[in-house]
């Protein structure tokens, strides 16, 4: 999220200025227009202050809390309880103090005459663009309870998916961290004495051992340079990723990663399909729905493809025009979208496509978790082999030559 300074005028002509938080300049502009403001000037802040960063760090709403909010709000609305009263009921039932304040502010805004979607739009760090646009569609169609039921289901699916991926990565991450720590400790504390023994014995030092000795020398004598170099590399990468070209490169690499790249691609395409189907079912026009989904996928590569698709659709071409030519989209996706458009059942086709990719992701994660353990065992074996050949073998040769 970024902060944007703005100057605007109200519908009554009053000049105002302030700060708005949004993921992009376009999102910030849309939010201000949703507040019935005429934007005169909009500029991103170069940096945020330390108090703002601390507030961002501690004031968070988890996916689970947002899921419970959507589910409970749907039940209350279905029971014909007014929106403002429903929000105030949820304020008393929310344990997160920050989220409680957010819901109370939203209730006050709605009670003051604002639309629910406009009030939610004031908190983009809590309610993303998809959430807000779906609420707006529910307000238009009069199916607000169904929209919140759907949002709760989608947030729950996203939460379960993220939890599964994180759970699958905990074990290999822990083992990898332990391997790195043990390796560094051996290089710093074990290799130097062995290096002295081998030098005094005059035995021939193998290549693997010499490599470990050189690495030990660097870590023991130039540790500060290693830390500085790692810090510079980390800061440089972080700064580059913040740029548009850096984000595009990172997102491209995510798609091209072995094994995980295919899973990530299926997650993005599944989210694209289900979200677009839901927006179309709610009566959102196709170009508008595509623009919303472009932000939902949260991937620069697919964002660019979808925005090109918007231009094609607005020019009267098929929705699959860009996807057919792209190597980032499986042919099945473009073909099914083409069939859906020709038959007038694009939303139904996209929903089936989203369900298919959800099943594919589940199957891929199951296979991945079953493969992690043998892969880790192989890596541990290779690390042990390097240590044995680099440390024990030279010592054995040295003692044998002395004997």
Residue 106 shares a structural domain with residue 32: no
> Are 43 and 127 part of one and the same domain?
no
Average of per-residue pLDDT across 266-272: 86
Together in a domain, 22 and 101: no
pLDDT for res 46: 54
Summarised one tens digit per residue, pLDDT across range 370-395 is 777 788 888 888 877 877 777 777 77
The answer to whether residue 188 sits within a structural domain is no
Any domain includes 302: no
Final residue belonging to a domain, choices 156, 175, 200 = 156
Is 73 found in the same domain as 53?
no
322 inside domain: no
| Domain with 42 in it | 2-57
- Is 77 a member of any domain? yes
Residue at 252 is within a domain: no
Split into its structural domains, the chain has a count of 2
Residues 93 and 45 in one domain: no
Mean pLDDT of 307-335: 87
Same domain, yes or no, for 47 and 94?
Answer: no
Do 13 and 51 belong to one domain? yes
Same domain, 108 and 137: yes
CATH code, 111 = 1.20.81.30
Taking the C-alpha atoms of 109, 112, 118 and 119 in order, what is their torsion angle to the nearest 10 degrees?
A: 10
Assess if residue 121 is contained within a domain.
Answer: yes
Domain boundary among 124, 156, 188: 156
List, for residues 170-227, the tens digit of each pLDDT value.
877 788 788 888 888 888 887 788 777 777 766 677 777 778 788 888 888 888 898 9
Same domain, 78 and 144: yes
CATH number at residue 29: 3.10.20
Asked if residue 72 and residue 42 are part of one domain, the reply reads no
Percent of the chain whose pLDDT exceeds 70: 91
Boundary-marking domain end, from 25, 42, 57: 57
Q: Answer whether residue 19 is part of any domain.
A: yes
Kindly state whether residue 116 falls inside one of the protein's structural domains: yes
Q: Are residues 84 and 53 in the same domain?
A: no
Instruction: Tell me: do 148 and 81 sit in the same domain.
Output: yes
Residue 229 pLDDT exceeds 90: yes
Model confidence, pTM: 0.67
């Amino acid at each position: 999220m970024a902060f944007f300074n703005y100057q605007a005028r109200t519908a009554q002509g009053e000049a105002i200025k302030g700060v708005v938080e949004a993921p992009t300049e376009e999102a910030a502009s849309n939010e201000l227009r949703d507040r019935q403001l005429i934007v005169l000037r909009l500029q991103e802040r170069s940096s945020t202050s330390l108090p703002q960063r601390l507030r961002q760090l501690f004031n968070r709403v988890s996916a689970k809390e947002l899921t419970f909010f959507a589910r409970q709000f749907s039940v209350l609305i279905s029971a014909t309880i007014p929106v403002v009263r429903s929000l105030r009921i949820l304020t008393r039932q929310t344990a997160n103090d920050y989220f409680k304040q957010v819901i109370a502010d939203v209730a006050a805004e709605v009670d003051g005459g604002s639309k629910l979607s406009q009030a939610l739009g004031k908190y983009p760090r809590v309610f993303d663009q998809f959430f807000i646009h779906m609420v707006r569609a529910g307000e238009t169609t009069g199916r607000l309870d169904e929209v919140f039921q759907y949002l709760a289901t989608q947030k729950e699916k996203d939460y379960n998916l993220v939890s599964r991926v994180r759970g699958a990565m905990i074990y290999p991450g822990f083992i990898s961290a332990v391997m790195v720590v043990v390796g560094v400790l051996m290089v710093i504390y074990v290799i130097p004495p062995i290096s002295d023994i081998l030098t005094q014995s005059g035995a021939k030092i193998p290549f693997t051992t010499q490599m470990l000795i050189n690495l030990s020398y660097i870590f023991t004598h130039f540790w500060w340079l290693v830390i500085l170099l790692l810090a510079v590399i980390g800061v440089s990468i972080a700064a580059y990723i913040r740029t548009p070209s850096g984000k595009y490169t990172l997102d491209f690499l995510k798609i091209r990663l072995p094994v995980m790249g295919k899973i990530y691609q299926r997650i993005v395409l599944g989210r694209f399909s289900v979200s677009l189907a839901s927006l179309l079912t709610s009566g959102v026009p196709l170009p508008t729905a595509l623009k919303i989904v472009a932000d939902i996928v949260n991937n620069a590569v697919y964002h660019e493809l979808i925005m090109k698709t918007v231009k094609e659709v607005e020019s009267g071409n098929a929705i699959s025009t860009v996807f057919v030519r792209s190597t980032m989209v499986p042919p099945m996706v473009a073909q099914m979208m083409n069939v859906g458009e020709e038959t007038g059942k694009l939303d139904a086709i996209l929903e089936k496509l989203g369900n298919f990719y959800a099943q594919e992701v589940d199957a891929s994660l199951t296979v991945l978790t079953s493969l992690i353990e043998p892969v880790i065992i192989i890596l541990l074996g290779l690390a042990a082999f390097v240590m044995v050949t680099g440390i024990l073998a030279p010592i054995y040769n040295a003692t044998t030559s002395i004997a």
